[in-house]
Homo-oligomer: A and B are copies of this chain.
Amino acid sequence: MIVVLKQNPNPAQLDSLIAWLEEKHIEVNKSVGTTHTILGLVGDTAAIDPDLISALGIVEDVKRVQEPYKHANRKFHPEATVVQVGDAKIGGGTLTLMAGPCTVESEAQIVEIAKRIKASGASILRGGAFKPRTSPYSYQGMGEEGIALLKTARAETGLPIAAELTDSAQLPLFADVDLIQVGARNMQNFALLGVLGRQEKPVMLMRGHCATYEEWLMSAEYIMAGGNHNVILCEGGIRSLEPSTRYALDLAAVPILRRLTHLPILVDPSHAASRSWLVPEIAPAAVAAGVDGISAEVHNDPEHAVMDGPQSLDPDTFDALAKKLTALHDYLG
């Protein structure tokens, strides 16, 4: 951390600041220039709140040099984390395919989809039971019954199941769900993240729609700080100025996060694209960018889907895509 002081700082205040920092076992290197004095802080500066220092009258600016996340930081954990989800693995060089409908509708629907995606090579079934909707008047999902139907589909196919949890009160219902998804709108629901950090199920954390990489990693850190290191990041797009897609998929996130963190990184092209035709055209780009997996919406009958039909693939299209992505991943090595 670098503290840039205002010109001619009050010497007593400066001494007091330095003493306060040294009490916290921070080493302070002072560099006096003709226009500015700069303090270089060395030590465990993640514990120092930059806001506190900025508040001081003698301080002009505080610049962090080190990342504020520890558990998620690749610097302190160079090898890639592999998260086990049922029999599936996410991370560490494989390409994991996760697929399923936006919302669970019936046993027939979810079981058929599960069978089809399994046959296509997917190793995790995703399906929504609690849906975060912008409008209170929109369909909110089947809730508990949806979770039960996912379990039925798991029993029929052996696929581990993933579903979004929208409130910590739902946690008991997820006791037998294999992967808990935190949606983009809850990425900074810190209370929820704290709860998920104090249990053991793997958590897939969607990127918030206007979150920076650092904010996203800090949200992962909330979960990890509680003791649960089974965290998967999932890029599903950010708000942009372009009106023709719901969210702009930020594929540069994949290689950049790869450097910053050891956690696995998925991409959800369906969420970003909001149109099914775009999914098979952009998913190969995500694979070429180096993702650990793809999460895609698949519906056995998109035209009659209760929700998000326009962004769902039919099983045949998913089958062709799954084969293409797997072959591409193998080709790229």
Chain A interfacial positions (CB closer than 8 Å to B): 2, 4, 27, 29-36, 38, 40-43, 46-47, 49, 51-52, 54-57, 60-61, 63, 65-66, 68-69, 132-139, 166-169, 185-186, 188-192, 194, 209-215, 218, 221-222, 225, 238-245, 248-252, 254-256, 272-273, 278, 281-282, 284-290, 302-310, 328, 331-332
A240 near B251: Cβ-Cβ < 8 Å:
no
Complex contacts, A282 vs chain B, CB 8 Å? 251-252, 255, 289
Most chain B CB inside 10 Å of its own CB: which residue of A189, A254, A285:
A285
Cβ A42 vs Cβ B34 within 8 A: yes
Interface centre among A190, A192, A249, A286 (most CB of B within 10 A): A190
List B contacts of A222 (CB < 8 A).
Answer: 136
- Judge whether B284 and A289 touch: CB under 8 Å: yes
Which residues from chain B contact A135 at a C-beta distance below 8 Å? 46, 68-69, 218, 221
Cross-chain contact A256 with B240 (CB below 8 angstroms) = no
In whole angstroms, how far apart are the Cα atoms of A47 and B209 in the complex?
A: 26
- How many identical subunits does the complex contain? 4
Q: Give the nearest-CB partner of A69 in chain B.
A: B135
Say what secondary structure dominates the interface of chain A: mixed
- What is the bound-complex CA distance between A115 and B4, given in angstroms? 36
Q: How far is the CB of A262 from chain B (nearest CB, A)?
A: 17
Cβ 8 A contact of A61, one of B65, B243, B249: B65
> Given the known A-B contacts A135-B68, A190-B132, are A40 and B33 also in contact in the complex, defined by CB atoms under 8 Å?
yes
Chain B min CB distance to A3 (Å)? 11
A255 touches B240 (CB 8 A): no
Contact B252 A306 (CB under 8 A): no
- For A225, the chain B residues whose CB sits under 8 A away are 136-137
Complex Cα distance A138/B68, Å?
Answer: 10
**Given A212-B241, A284-B289, A284-B332, 8 further pairs, Cβ under 8 A:** A31-B40, A35-B42, A35-B66, A49-B139, A51-B310, A136-B225, A212-B244, A281-B290
Q: How far is the CB of A207 from chain B (nearest CB, A)?
A: 10
CB nearest to A291 among chain B residues:
B285
Q: How far is the CB of A250 from chain B (nearest CB, A)?
A: 5
By a CB distance below 8 angstroms, the chain B residues around A52 are 306-307, 309
Q: Are B212 and A209 in contact (CB under 8 A)?
A: no
Structural contact, A272 and B285, CB atoms closer than 8 A: no
